[in-house]
A and B are shown apart, each in its own frame.
Chain A
Amino acid sequence: MHRKGRAGLQGDSVIYMRSEDSWICIGLFFGSIDLRRLSSSDKYGVARSNQASLLELCSWLNFGGSDMDKFTDKQKKELKRIIIALVMFILLMITEHLILPRCGLSGGPESAPGTPYMIAEIIVDILYIITYLIVGHDVLRKCLLGIKNKQLFDESFLMTIATIGAFGCGELEEAVAVMLFYQIGEFFQSYAVGKSRGAIMELMSIAPDYANRETEDGSTEVIDPDDIEVGDILVIKPGEKIPTDGVVLEGQGFINTAALTGESVPRPVGEGDQVISGCINGEDLLRIEALKEYDDSTVMQILDMVETAASKKSRTENFITRFARYYTPAVVIGAVLLAFIPPLVSGHFTEVFGMWLLRACTFLVISCPCALVISVPLAFFGGIGAASKNGVLVKGSNYLEMMAHLDTVVSDKTGTLTEGVFRVSSVEAAPGYDKTDVIRYAAAVETGSTHPIGAAIVAACEDPYPASDVKNNENHAGKGAEASVGSDRIAVGNAKLFADLGIDIPDLPADTEKAVGTHCYVAKNGEYIGTVTVSDLPKEEAVQAVKDMLAEGVRRIVMLTGDSEKTAAATAATLGISDYRAELLPQDKVAAVEEMLNELGGSEKRRLAFIGDGINDAPVLSRADVGLAMGSLGSDAAIEAADIVIMDDKLSRIPAVIRIARKTIGISKTNIVFALMVKFVCLVLGALGIANMWIAVFADVGVAVICILNSMRMLAVGK
Chain B
Amino acid sequence: MKKKFKLQDLDCANCAAKMEDAIKKIDGVNDASVSFMTQKMMIDADDAVFDKVVEEAVKCIAKVEPDCKVIL
Chain A residues with CB under 8 Å of chain B are: 72, 74, 138, 141-142, 145, 149, 151, 186, 189-190, 193, 197, 200-201, 204, 306-311, 321, 324, 373-374, 377, 381, 384
| Known pairs A74-B9, A151-B18, A377-B13; A142 contacts B37 (CB<8 A) | no
Chain B residues with CB under 8 Å of chain A are: 8-9, 11-14, 17-18, 33, 35-40, 42, 63-64, 66-67
| Known pairs A142-B66, A145-B66; A204 contacts B38 (CB<8 A) | yes
Return A209 CB to nearest CB of chain B, in Å.
15
B35 touching A307, Cβ below 8 Å: yes
Return chain A residues, CB-CB under 8 Å to B17. Answer: 321
Q: Which of A190, A200, A321, A373 contacts B37 (CB 8 A)?
A: A200
Return chain B residues, CB-CB under 8 Å to A72. Answer: 8-9
A321 touching B14, Cβ below 8 Å: yes
A200 touching B38, Cβ below 8 Å: yes
Q: Which of A307, A377, A381 contacts B40 (CB 8 A)?
A: A307
Tell me the complex Cα distance, A530–B18, Å: 73
B10 to chain A: closest residue by CB? A193
Return B24 CB to nearest CB of chain A, in Å.
12
Return chain B residues, CB-CB under 8 Å to A204. Answer: 38
Return chain B residues, CB-CB under 8 Å to A186. Answer: 11
Return chain B residues, CB-CB under 8 Å to A151. Answer: 18, 63-64
A-B contact pairs, 25 of them (CB 8 A): A72-B8, A72-B9, A74-B8, A141-B66, A145-B66, A149-B63, A149-B64, A186-B11, A189-B11, A190-B11, A197-B37, A197-B39, A200-B38, A307-B35, A307-B37, A307-B38, A307-B42, A308-B35, A310-B36, A310-B38, A311-B33, A311-B35, A374-B12, A374-B13, A381-B37
B17 to chain A: closest residue by CB? A321
Return B28 CB to nearest CB of chain A, in Å.
21
Chain B contact residues, majority secondary structure: mixed
Return chain B residues, CB-CB under 8 Å to A377. Answer: 13, 36
Tell me the complex Cα distance, A193–B33, Å: 19
Return chain A residues, CB-CB under 8 Å to B11. Answer: 186, 189-190, 193
Return chain A residues, CB-CB under 8 Å to B42. Answer: 307
Return chain B residues, CB-CB under 8 Å to A142. Answer: 66-67
Tell me the complex Cα distance, A151–B8, Å: 20
Return chain B residues, CB-CB under 8 Å to A201. Answer: 38
B37 touching A310, Cβ below 8 Å: yes
Chain A contact residues, majority secondary structure: helix
Tell me the complex Cα distance, A204–B8, Å: 17
B14 touching A373, Cβ below 8 Å: yes
A311 to chain B: closest residue by CB? B33
Tell me the complex Cα distance, A141–B62, Å: 13
Tell me the complex Cα distance, A201–B6, Å: 13
B9 to chain A: closest residue by CB? A74
Return B3 CB to nearest CB of chain A, in Å.
12
B15 to chain A: closest residue by CB? A154
Return A143 CB to nearest CB of chain B, in Å.
11
Return chain A residues, CB-CB under 8 Å to B36. Answer: 310, 377
A309 touching B37, Cβ below 8 Å: yes
Most buried by A among B13, B18, B42, B63: B13
Tell me the complex Cα distance, A151–B66, Å: 12
Return chain A residues, CB-CB under 8 Å to B8. Answer: 72, 74
Return B49 CB to nearest CB of chain A, in Å.
23
B16 to chain A: closest residue by CB? A310
A197 touching B67, Cβ below 8 Å: no
A74 touching B37, Cβ below 8 Å: no
Tell me the complex Cα distance, A72–B40, Å: 16
Return chain B residues, CB-CB under 8 Å to A321. Answer: 14, 17
Return chain A residues, CB-CB under 8 Å to B39. Answer: 197
Return A578 CB to nearest CB of chain B, in Å.
40
Tell me the complex Cα distance, A250–B35, Å: 41
Tell me the complex Cα distance, A141–B33, Å: 27
Tell me the complex Cα distance, A373–B12, Å: 9
Tell me the complex Cα distance, A138–B12, Å: 15
B11 to chain A: closest residue by CB? A190
A317 to chain B: closest residue by CB? B13
4 extra A-B contacts, CB within 8 A, seeds A145-B63, A197-B39, A310-B38: A138-B67, A151-B18, A307-B38, A308-B35
Return chain B residues, CB-CB under 8 Å to A190. Answer: 11
A303 to chain B: closest residue by CB? B38
Return chain B residues, CB-CB under 8 Å to A373. Answer: 12-14
B14 to chain A: closest residue by CB? A373
Return chain B residues, CB-CB under 8 Å to A308. Answer: 33, 35
Top 4 A-B pairs ranked by shortest CB distance? A310-B37, A149-B63, A377-B13, A74-B9
Return chain B residues, CB-CB under 8 Å to A141. Answer: 66
Return chain A residues, CB-CB under 8 Å to B64. Answer: 149, 151
Return chain A residues, CB-CB under 8 Å to B9. Answer: 72, 74
Return chain A residues, CB-CB under 8 Å to B63. Answer: 145, 149, 151
A141 to chain B: closest residue by CB? B66
Tell me the complex Cα distance, A636–B18, Å: 32
A155 to chain B: closest residue by CB? B12
Tell me the complex Cα distance, A311–B17, Å: 9
Return chain B residues, CB-CB under 8 Å to A193. Answer: 11
Tell me the complex Cα distance, A236–B22, Å: 43
A190 to chain B: closest residue by CB? B11
Tell me the complex Cα distance, A138–B66, Å: 10
Tell me the complex Cα distance, A454–B20, Å: 57
A150 to chain B: closest residue by CB? B63
Tell me the complex Cα distance, A151–B22, Å: 12
B68 to chain A: closest residue by CB? A74
Tell me the complex Cα distance, A193–B9, Å: 11
Return chain A residues, CB-CB under 8 Å to B14. Answer: 321, 324, 373
Tell me the complex Cα distance, A142–B63, Å: 10
| Known pairs A72-B8, A72-B9; A310 contacts B66 (CB<8 A) | no
Return chain B residues, CB-CB under 8 Å to A311. Answer: 33, 35
Tell me the complex Cα distance, A393–B12, Å: 24
Return B15 CB to nearest CB of chain A, in Å.
8
Tell me the complex Cα distance, A197–B11, Å: 11
Tell me the complex Cα distance, A197–B36, Å: 9
Tell me the complex Cα distance, A509–B51, Å: 78
Tell me the complex Cα distance, A197–B8, Å: 12
Tell me the complex Cα distance, A141–B67, Å: 10
B66 to chain A: closest residue by CB? A145
Tell me the complex Cα distance, A186–B9, Å: 12
